Amino acid sequence: MHLHLDCSLSFAVVQQINPLVDYETYQRSFVGPVKCTGLADFLARTTHGIGLMQTKAELRLVTLDLFQQLKADNVIYAEIRFAPLLHLQKGLTSETVVQTVNEATSEGMATTGVEAGIILCTLRHFEEAQSMETVRLVEQFRGTNVVGFDIASDEAGFPVDQHVKAFDFAKEHALNITAHAGEARGAESVWETLRRFHPTRIGHGVRSMEDPRLMEYLKKAGIHLEVCPTSNVQTNVVDRIENHPADKIYRSGVSMSISTDARTISNTCLAHEYHAMQEMFGWEKADFFKCNLEAVEHAFISEQKKATLRETIMAAYQSK
């Protein structure tokens, strides 16, 4: 449910695009340390992947590479997000960027059997016009693999004001909305995001635990939290994985699911995230099953596709 395309380049695809990058350089430049100094330090590491995603050929290779990773990770559905306006350095238009990733997503689904949707992101430091350009792309590509609109990047460093118009547009046009919040800032960031952007999902949102009233609201309103444990430890939202609030959020009854965020920067996969929840909090099959069903319920897909995914998940859990 929460997966960044430009933060998930494997060594194989990096070397395919730029053979001069050896494994040591890849580990140093593309993979973050176990502990960054904070979210801003973490985000600074995205530039290496973005730099290799500036042509149609590069965008296609990176997208197809991610599908191979997802297949190896036994993922059956993913929502892949990225900011189209970050990929214009070599002359592509934002429309061409989205079209390229959209077509590569269709190709990836056909070759791997992994189903996926695309979420287009604006960024906190963008101007209003850039957010409007991004949300209009979501509307333009409605009915393709593009399924939703998001805002990402440093919530602590930039206000929401210049993005309200874009989210109003999304709401007026009945576009699916998720938004990063409750990561670099506390519960007040989640409240602000809910009031100004009207999302049905929150990316991360783990600091909602700081406000019991907010937790009750999330539960009552059916807001889904896209929780990424390893990423939150890496960005110092949480000091250690055993202190991560994911289990408390889950036990509170707030809808949530477990995701990877940035597979490469965090050196993780979904299996690793699940193992951490099992090892640290004693999660059992029923807990993962519930979170999987919550993810399906809040996925930006049709009811027909949700029904198919539920059947697949139920059959898999019953067979184990």
* Tokens coding 71: 């297949």
Residue at 81: amino acid letter? R
Report the C-alpha gap between 199 and 42 in whole angstroms: 24
CA 128/CA 170 separation, integer angstroms: 14
- What gap in Å lies between CA 154 and CA 140, rounded to an integer? 27
**Strand ranges (E), the chain:** 3-4, 77-82, 115-123, 146-152, 178-181, 201-204, 224-227, 256-258
Contact by Cβ (8 Å): 260, 66: no
Is-catalytic flag, 183? yes
**What's the angle, vertex CA 96, arms to CA 92 and CA 102, rounded to 5?**
135
**Cα(78)–Cα(116) distance, integer angstroms:** 5
- The contacts found for 22-30 with CB under 8 angstroms, 24 or more apart, are 30/264, 30/265
Residues sharing a CB contact under 8 Å with residue 74, sequence separation 6 or more, in sequence order:
270, 271
CB 232 within 8 A of CB 206: yes
Question: Which ranges of 222-284 does DSSP label H, i.e. alpha helix?
Answer: 229-234, 246-252, 270-281
Q: Yes or no: say if 254 and 261 are a contact pair by the CB < 8 Å rule.
A: no
CB atoms within 10 A of CB 107: 14
Strands 224-227 and 201-204: parallel
Which tokens is 20 given?
A: 């001069």
One of 155, 183, 226, 294 is an active-site residue; which one? 183
- Catalytically annotated residues: 183
